[in-house]
């Protein structure tokens, strides 16, 4: 627990000095706030929460994958992870500490989204639930990419296609039925379905998201066993 806490604190201090990661957690709620206030609220044809739900889907898909993979790849590349492990930090403690902090940041940003949007209490609970599920899935995927990547540049190169597919597919699915059908297996699409229509089948969305997390977890375990943390 001591090591997890130390990594968590290190991550917290580091993130606020790392503009590349920090911007990911600021830009999406900021854009949704600006667009909601300037466009949605002054235009009756646009639903009040349209920009909140759109930015939330992109945030869950893009920001969390790239930040998690980037942090791990940087610590491996700089040799910091090697020293942490030599000091007695177990790989799973490192991953819990780092992932735990990203999860907390994901929850904070999700709460900010609910403050920007116009939701009832039940909708807030559903919104936060799907956001936490999506955050967890993206953290696991990001960790796998961070382990595979040889350095930060490689982490961005590998992570970006995943981030774009997961972040933007729900948006495209809104305009194309074939894409919508294909995207229904993705956790970000299920999240998008719920946050755009809180009366949609919540249990089905939870099931698909749960399966996504299970599959990503299995994938992560396979990659971790094969590659370890390359210390």
Partner 1 sequence: MIKMNGVIKRFGKNTVLTDVSFEVKKQEIFGLLGPSGAGKTTIINILTNQLNADGGNYETGASSFETGLMLDNDGLFPRLSCADNLNVFADIYNIPRKKSMEALKNVGLGEAAKKSVNNLSKGMRQRLALARAILHNPKILFLDEPTSGLDPATARGIHKLILELREKGATVFLTTHNMDEAVKLCDKVSLLHKGKIIEQGAPDEICRRYDSVKTVPDLESVFIKLTGVELE
- Contact footprint for partner 1 (CB under 8 A): 2-3, 5-7, 9-10, 13-14, 17-18, 78-84, 86-89, 231
Within 10 Å of residue 146's Cβ, how many Cβ atoms?
A: 29
Looking at the Cβ atoms of 89 and 136, the one nearer to partner 1 is 89
For residue 83, the minimal CB distance to partner 1 (Å) is 4
* Rounded-to-integer distance, Cα 23 and Cα 26, Å: 5
Looking at the Cβ atoms of 79 and 174, the one nearer to partner 1 is 79
Q: Check residue 150 and report its DSSP letter.
A: S
* Rounded-to-integer distance, Cα 212 and Cα 69, Å: 18
For residue 117, the minimal CB distance to partner 1 (Å) is 33
* H or E segment and range at residue 89: none
Looking at the Cβ atoms of 21 and 116, the one nearer to partner 1 is 21
Residues near 205 by beta carbon (within 8 Å), at least 6 away in sequence: 130, 190, 191, 193, 194
Q: Render the burial of 52-72: b for 16+ CB within 10 Å, e for the rest.
A: bbbbbbbbbbbbbbbbbbbbb
Structure tokens at 83: 């020293």
Looking at the Cβ atoms of 5 and 181, the one nearer to partner 1 is 5
Virtual torsion, Cα 168, 159, 14, 29, nearest 10 deg: 0
Looking at the Cβ atoms of 44 and 87, the one nearer to partner 1 is 87
Looking at the Cβ atoms of 25 and 198, the one nearer to partner 1 is 25
The CA angle 62-172-123, to the nearest 5 degrees, is: 70
For residue 10, the minimal CB distance to partner 1 (Å) is 5
For residue 81, the minimal CB distance to partner 1 (Å) is 8
- Number of continuous H segments (helices) and E segments (strands) in the chain: 11, 0
The CA angle 168-174-179, to the nearest 5 degrees, is: 70
For residue 6, the minimal CB distance to partner 1 (Å) is 4
For residue 185, the minimal CB distance to partner 1 (Å) is 38
């Amino acid at each position: 627990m001591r090591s997890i806490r130390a990594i968590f604190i290190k991550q917290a201090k580091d993130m606020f000095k790392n503009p590349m990661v920090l911007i990911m957690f600021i830009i999406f709620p900021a854009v949704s706030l600006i667009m909601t206030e300037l466009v949605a609220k002054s235009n009756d044809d646009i639903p009040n929460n349209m920009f909140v739900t759109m930015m939330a889907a992109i945030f869950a898909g893009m920001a969390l994958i790239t930040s998690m993979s980037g942090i791990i790849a940087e610590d491996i590349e700089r040799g910091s992870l090697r020293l942490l492990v030599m000091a007695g930090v177990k790989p799973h403690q490192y991953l819990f500490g780092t992932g735990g902090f990203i999860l907390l940041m994901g929850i904070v940003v999700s709460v900010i989204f609910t403050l920007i949007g116009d939701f009832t209490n039940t909708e807030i609970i559903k919104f936060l639930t799907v956001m936490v599920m999506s955050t967890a899935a993206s953290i696991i995927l990001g960790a796998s990419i961070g382990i595979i990547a040889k350095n930060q540049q490689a982490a961005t190169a590998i992570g970006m296609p995943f981030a774009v597919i997961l972040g933007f597919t729900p948006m495209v699915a809104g305009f194309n039925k074939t894409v919508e059908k294909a995207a229904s297996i993705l956790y970000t699409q299920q999240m998008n379905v719920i946050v755009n229509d809180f009366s949609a089948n919540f249990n089905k969305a939870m099931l698909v998201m749960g399966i996504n997390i299970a599959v990503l977890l299995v994938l992560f375990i396979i990659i971790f066993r094969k590659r370890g943390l390359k210390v």
